[in-house]
């Protein structure tokens, strides 16, 4: 089961327990509808804070994303420890630049796309600088495979 599915299952379990907690805390006291009327107990405050949390998605740290990429990339290219560190740092730098670019509202979508392409080309050049000729061929094949898998995922969604 992938991490997204696990997260959904855990979220559903927690949200279900909050619903039952409301019934348990709300209907057994005094007037039958909570301590001071409808939903004025502690659960009301919890619902408000939960609503605030769910409105803003949690950002995944760049380092975590790069670590996942490196888990696939390192064995595929037979990287040594020094190459892993250097390429990981290049990817972190690139992803941080992508984040800044994405948040830049003064640029048009076309300008952003051009800068993304330029950034990707530059990143690939720097990564290739750390690789042997044999690893460069493997890296090229790795990039092609990742493009193909993205296209097949898009087709499945449609």
- If asked whether residues 143 and 81 sit together in one domain, one would say yes
Contact 123, 91 (CB under 8 A): yes
Position 129 in a domain: yes
Would the pTM of this model clear 0.75, i.e. be above it? no
Position 5 in a domain: no
Q: Which two tokens stand for residue 52?
A: 């605030």
Tally of domains in the chain: 2
For 30-39, b/e burial (b = at least 16 CB within 10 A) is eeeebeeeee
Spatial CB neighbours of 95, under 8 Å, sequence gap ≥ 6 = 62, 65, 66
The one-digit pLDDT tens for each residue of the chain (158 residues) are: 565 555 545 455 444 544 444 445 444 445 455 555 555 555 555 555 555 555 667 888 889 999 999 999 999 999 999 999 999 999 999 999 999 998 888 989 999 999 999 999 999 999 999 999 999 999 999 999 888 887 776 666 65
Alpha-carbon dihedral angle through residues 129, 133, 137, 140, given to the nearest 10 degrees: 10
Q: Which residue range is the domain that position 70 belongs to?
A: 62-157
Position 3 in a domain: no
- If asked whether residues 83 and 42 sit together in one domain, one would say no
- If asked whether residues 51 and 129 sit together in one domain, one would say no
- Taking only Cα atoms into account, the Rg of the chain, rounded to an integer number of angstroms, comes to 24
- If asked whether residues 42 and 111 sit together in one domain, one would say no
């Amino acid at each position: 089961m992938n991490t997204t599915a696990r997260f959904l299952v855990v979220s559903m379990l927690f949200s279900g327990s909050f619903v039952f907690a409301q019934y348990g805390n709300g209907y057994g006291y005094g007037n039958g509808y909570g301590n001071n009327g409808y939903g004025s107990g502690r659960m009301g405050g919890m619902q408000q804070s939960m609503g605030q949390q769910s409105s803003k998605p949690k950002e995944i740290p760049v380092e975590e994303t790069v670590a996942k990429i490196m888990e696939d990339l390192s064995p595929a290219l037979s990287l040594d420890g020094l190459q892993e560190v250097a390429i990981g740092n290049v990817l972190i730098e690139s992803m941080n630049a992508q984040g800044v670019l994405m948040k830049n509202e003064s640029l048009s979508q076309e300008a952003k796309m051009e800068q993304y392409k330029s950034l990707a080309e530059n990143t690939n050049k720097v990564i290739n600088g750390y690789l042997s000729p044999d690893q460069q061929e493997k890296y090229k094949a790795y990039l092609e495979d990742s493009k193909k898998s993205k296209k097949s995922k898009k087709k499945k969604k449609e």
